[in-house]
Chains A and B, each alone.
Chain A
Amino acid sequence: MSAANLSSEQSHAQHHDAPPRGITRWLYATNHKDIGVMYLVFGVLMFFVGGLLAELIRSELLTPTMRVLTPEAYNQVITIHGLVMVFAAVMPITTGFANYLIPLMIGAPDMALPRLNNWGFWLLPAAAVLLVLPWGLKLIGIGTGTIDTGWTMYAPLSIQAGPGADFAFVAVLLLGLSSTMASINILVTVAQQRAPGMSWLRLPVFVWSWVITALLLIAVFPALMAGCIMQITDRHFGTHFFSASGGGDPVLWEHIFWFFGHPEVYILLLPTAGLLPHILATFARKPLYGYKAQVYSFCAIGVMSIVVWAHHMFTSGMPTDVNIYFMLSTMAISVPVAVLFFCWFGTIWRGSMTFETPMLFALGYIVLFGIGGLTGLVLSDAAADQQYHNTYFLVAHFHYALFGGPIMGIFAALYYYLPKMTGRMYSEILGRWHFWLTLAAFNLVFMPQFLLGIAGMPRRIPDYALQFAPLNMVSSIGAFALGATQLLFLYNILRTAFGTSGAVASARVWEGSSGLEFTLPSPPPFHTFATPPAID
């Protein structure tokens, strides 16, 4: 259409090795490492925003009675905490690792569709702004603040909610577009850009985990986008998808949401489950154990995760035979997950282990995610779930699974790859303090919540009965400690990225590391593998 800029086209076909200068390097980025770094920075930033909201929640729950927030504000804070942590913190960080690492790991010059890549990233800040903007609008007298339905946005509550809900649904549409674009790019890159000799069954485990993650995203996110459109038409255009007066059914929304939402749990989990074996093998100084078993487990988890969703809805009033099916299929999915655990144990078994910070976080992942998984088996029992579902037991289970899993994995991977990305070592002492304090504080926050749940404390409620007060205070104090500990982490990464005091990292970084990414200098040059590496 525009033949005019063809002349500049020709000259631009040549590439420069130095990154462009100024802000346009980031705004107009087409380099996978730059885009990966933007994802990581954005995700870590939003991790702190979501964390701040968590501190607000625990401040309110420190003692009985309402002190810090109004009930309305409390509902908004828990909703945005959930949406931000899932969509704006964990997903962008794992996508950032994918962008940074996959081309390096498979010997590709870049992602297959670099401009699409950048588009996928820049949709995220747009969505994040839309999520929190209603708080700003409320200040100037428009609306009632953000969405206040909980991150699951259940109808009919979502139909009656204030204008903040529309912003959230639109934000989810943008997030869905972003994830779809990122997933398309990852699938095309892996299918298309592997160096000669890098066959499918030689791909690093992390790459495999992202192949399954991307397939899952394409298979389920469009369903949630369709659901969000139906929510908006129910709210404003008189349709009755989720309302019984027109023959619809609010439970339909729950099906749509969890058809997306359960695979989403694995979308959050799999990328770090794929990084874990790399880290364990490095610090056990052994080759990874059970490569094929792990790859096939990822595939099995991917398939099964699509057909177990309604175990989130045992208390929604489904027929008993439906409950039984979802109970059994949910229990079955623990089999491939257990295979992963066995492979991780096999990898460190009789290894000559050292316990640098990434290894500590990797081992912490196994323990905490293990607790999250096992308590998940308790909840998957449709009969027992009637008792536990709407209590703090579920909140504790969820956080063991998603903080214990993806977030511990993200810490492990950040410490593991930070020297590779920046060319400098982080402070090992600070890193170990970060691990041990995080481990202690995390258990202090969520172990009491298991007990509170068993004792019957309902979730999503800003106030509680007096007998729950002592354990809630312990949990809140743990939360403050957990939050403060993360400042150590922030200081450590900033010091590594911008300071000059860290030791210079070698190309290999770790004694036991292997993989194409460790054949490159630290930090790697702006463009890498312009000619494909030789794979033996």
Chain B
Amino acid sequence: MNAVTEPHRPYYIPNPSPYPVVLSGALFLLGLGAALRVNALTAGWWVLGAGALLAVYVLFAWFGRVIGESRAGVYGLQEDRAFRWGMLWFITSEVVFFASLFGVLFYERNIAVPWLASFNAPHSALAPFSPWPHFTAQWPNGGPAGQGFEVVNPWGIPALNTLLLLSSGVTVTWAHAGLRAGRRTQLKAGLALTIALGVTFLGFQLHEFSEAYRVLGLTLHSGVYGATFFILTGFHGLHVTIGAIMLAAMLARTWRGDFTPENHFAFEAVTWYWHFVDVVWLMLFVFVYWL
């Protein structure tokens, strides 16, 4: 926040840094390992593992470096704004990612399935030649060649999970209020509560997946319903996991004495991300579980 008092302070340009290129290398290994692994080559596991270890190391080192720079006071108002805009655009790209997945759900449910069933319409000239004469347009749907399955009851675990995530949005805001007012205990308690709610959510979600597989017969193989169900809830769960890890990092930094009531953008960025994940869940609850 020095920029307010020193208007001519030059923009901070970091010195040459090894982290970006090493992170690219880690992602290369992860990509290569995944491509080998899905084609049943055992070497894939080793490459994946090496990539994952390297990625974890670089993320620690790179973020550690940025945190160090922040603590050393090399960032001013301009750098702070650059981080804010950067995070905002990153979340925008995430919004597009999830919007695409919801678009896929909409397309499969309202266009693809009715179109497949239209072959069987009573007055359709194609009806006698339909390869799937007993197929009707309905949702949930496992497709003409699909096996039967049951769907998750939205008013069981999913409703409870909605409650958990919404509460976590409140607790993280409460923590933020504590941080801004200088009440560190409230900050720590709020963060810890938020993480606990997030982890509980994840536990329930895992339980739900295992029930789906073992009891309901709802799997990745369950046609378009299973595919859209698991890709949407799965990627959301992945984001909750990442969010919880980031919250834990914020808690660790709080414990170490980081963040001041004026200067705590890392914390704010994580709360933005957490609220974003929250909103995605609400959409999931309505369009995947409920309607």
Q: Which residues of A pack against B, CB within 8 Å?
A: 1-3, 5-6, 9-10, 12-13, 15, 20, 24-25, 27-31, 108-110, 112-116, 118-119, 122-123, 125-126, 129-130, 133, 142-143, 163, 166-167, 170-171, 173-174, 177, 180, 183-185, 187-188, 191-193, 218-223, 225-227, 229-230, 232-241, 243-249, 251-252, 255-256, 259, 527, 530-531
Contact = CB atoms under 8 A, between A and B. Distances in A.
A226 B82 contact: no
B63 A252 contact: no
B108 A249 contact: yes
A119 B111 contact: no
A93 to B, nearest CB: 19
Contacts of A123: 24, 27
Contacts of B99: 223
A118 B21 contact: yes
- List 9 tightest A-B contacts by C-beta distance, closest first: A247-B143, A1-B64, A246-B143, A119-B20, A28-B16, A239-B227, A246-B223, A126-B28, A122-B24
B100 A119 contact: no
B116 A247 contact: yes
A245 B16 CA distance: 53
B56 to A, nearest CB: 12
B74 A252 contact: no
B112 A249 contact: yes
Nearest to A34: B16
Interface stretch (B87-95, B182-190, B193-201): B87-95
Contact of B31 (A20, A28, A126): A126
Given A219-B96, A238-B219, 5 more contacts: A3-B71, A28-B18, A123-B24, A174-B28, A218-B96
A2 B68 contact: yes
Given A222-B93, A222-B100, A531 B8 contact: yes
A240 B223 contact: yes
A9 B74 contact: yes
A113 B20 contact: no
Interface stretch (B34-42, B164-172, B209-217, B269-277): B34-42
Contact of A30 (B17, B222, B224): B17
A79 to B, nearest CB: 16
B227 A233 contact: yes
8 contacts: A9-B74, A109-B11, A180-B93, A187-B89, A218-B92, A223-B103, A247-B116, A249-B108
Interface in B159-180: none
Contacts of A233: 220, 227, 231
Nearest to B95: A222
A244 B28 contact: no
B39 A166 contact: yes
A118 B227 contact: no
Contact of B28 (A25, A129, A220): A129
A226 B102 CA distance: 11
A20 B16 contact: yes
Contact of B10 (A109, A125, A245): A109
A219 B95 CA distance: 9
A530 B31 contact: no
Contacts of A166: 34-35, 38-39
A28 B100 contact: no
A1 B27 contact: no
A10 B72 contact: yes
Contacts of A27: 18, 21
Interface residue range, chain B: 35 or more
Contacts of B226: 239-240
A41 to B, nearest CB: 15
A110 B86 contact: no
B17 to A, nearest CB: 5
B15 A188 contact: no
Contacts of B141: 247
Contacts of B228: 241
Contacts of A10: 72
A113 B86 contact: yes
Contacts of A234: 227
A251 B19 CA distance: 41
B132 to A, nearest CB: 9
B125 interface: no
Interface in B63-113: 63-65, 67-69, 71-72, 74, 78, 81-82, 85-86, 89-90, 92-94, 96-97, 99-101, 103-104, 107-108, 111-113
B243 interface: no
B62 interface: yes
B207 interface: no
A116 B72 contact: no
B82 A188 contact: yes
B148 interface: no
Nearest to B252: A1
Contact of A237 (B8, B90, B220): B220
Given A30-B14, A187-B85, A245 B144 contact: yes
A246 B224 contact: yes
Interface centre among B20, B107, B108 (most CB of A within 10 A): B20
Given A183-B89, A247-B225, A256 B231 contact: no
A145 to B, nearest CB: 13
Nearest to A112: B82
B25 interface: yes
B46 to A, nearest CB: 15
Contact of A241 (B72, B146, B224): B224
A121 to B, nearest CB: 8
Contact of B86 (A6, A109, A188): A188
A123 B30 CA distance: 12
A27 to B, nearest CB: 5
Contacts of B248: none
Contacts of B100: 222-223, 226-227, 256, 259
A246 B227 contact: yes
B11 A193 contact: yes
A29 B16 contact: yes
Given A115-B19, A236-B38, A248-B112, A218 B69 contact: no
A13 B25 CA distance: 27
Contacts of A6: 68, 71-72
Contact of A113 (B38, B82, B97): B82
B35 A247 contact: no
Contacts of B67: 1
Contacts of B221: 238-240, 246
A531 B143 contact: no
B67 to A, nearest CB: 6
A336 to B, nearest CB: 23
B189 to A, nearest CB: 23
A241 B18 contact: no
A247 B146 contact: yes
Nearest to A527: B13
B17 A240 contact: no
A27 B22 CA distance: 9
A31 B20 CA distance: 13
A171 B228 CA distance: 23
Contacts of B143: 240, 243-248
